[in-house]
Amino acid sequence: MRFSIFQDTALGARSVNQDRMGYCFTRDCLLMLLADGMGGHLRGEVAAQIAIQSAAATFQDSARPLVPDPVAFLDHALRSAHREILRYQEVHALPESPRTTVVACIVQRGRAWWAHAGDSRLYFVRAGALAARTRDHSKVESLVALGLLRAGEQEQHPERNKVLNCLGSPFEPTIEISRGVDLVEGDTILLCSDGLWSGIPEEMLCARLALGKVAEVVPALVRDAVLSTGRMADNTTAVAMNWEGDEGVIDTLISPVLQGGAVTTTIGFAQIEPDANADISDEEIERTIDEIREAIERSATR
């Protein structure tokens, strides 16, 4: 499995970055994740962090080195993350639960599957043209579906931030999952928060993804989206992958040599609300991973 991958984020004009992103991979399977904490609710950044950590822990438990069923994995991973956010509310006696949108993608055996809840998006680009993208679970996307708003107008609509589905709400989220697509060399998959897609027109976004390696394109897209929206700029985050084939070794920024069951990840399993001056030991990290795994096992038996 050969791919190049890169991630980047910018604060924008906000005081706190509530976006989280990351990826995990084994020798034969890749998981990409992005979550955008909802600022209209308490501790959106915590919800986003829990979602990413919980899904990554599920991947570590499931990928040996493939996940048996990508569709079932995506559904289970995101629903487990939802339950972990509700558990956080209960433990901390919060008046409401933190909430986050999420988008995730699994790649294995030359195919890709993705799932989402909310308006964080996945773009699947082939030869500089849009091949597929997720449809936002939002008010304006519903207006487009009803014919009350023209496609393309939702990016600038004043109610574009009204999300109808997310992790952490009192209601069970809708996890929308794709059927899976075969990848060919040169395909690009981008996961991004609304800070990115609201700042760059879709046609331009797809064209630029075809211009070079993601390590060069992604930070340029993040920077330009922030500049485009100026003093209204939201947190802007992206993780993107160039597919290079299903034979050979993984080609990433760190180029590891992985054994059959090994997992590499950019997602830190630190405590959710760390002391900025505290050193987090390896034992504390392992304990946090164990706690998340135990919670996932509890959820699976319900």
- Residue 276's pLDDT is 36
User: In this prediction, what percent of the chain has a pLDDT beyond 70?
Assistant: 81
Domain of residue 140: give its range. 2-300
What is the pLDDT confidence band of residue 301, given thresholds at 50, 70 and 90?
Answer: very low
CATH number at residue 232: 3.60.40.10
Query: For residue range 246-275, what is the model confidence (pLDDT) as tens digits?
Result: 765 554 443 334 455 578 999 987 666 544
Query: For residue range 107-149, what is the model confidence (pLDDT) as tens digits?
Result: 999 999 999 999 999 999 999 999 999 999 998 888 877 777 8
Give the Cα separation of 4 and 8 in Å (integer): 14
Q: Between helices 282-300 and 44-62, what is the axis angle to 10°?
A: 80
Give the Cα separation of 282 and 165 in Å (integer): 36
> How many structural domains does the chain have?
1
Six-digit token string for 112: 């890709």
Six-digit token string for 185: 């060399």
Q: What is the pTM of this model?
A: 0.85
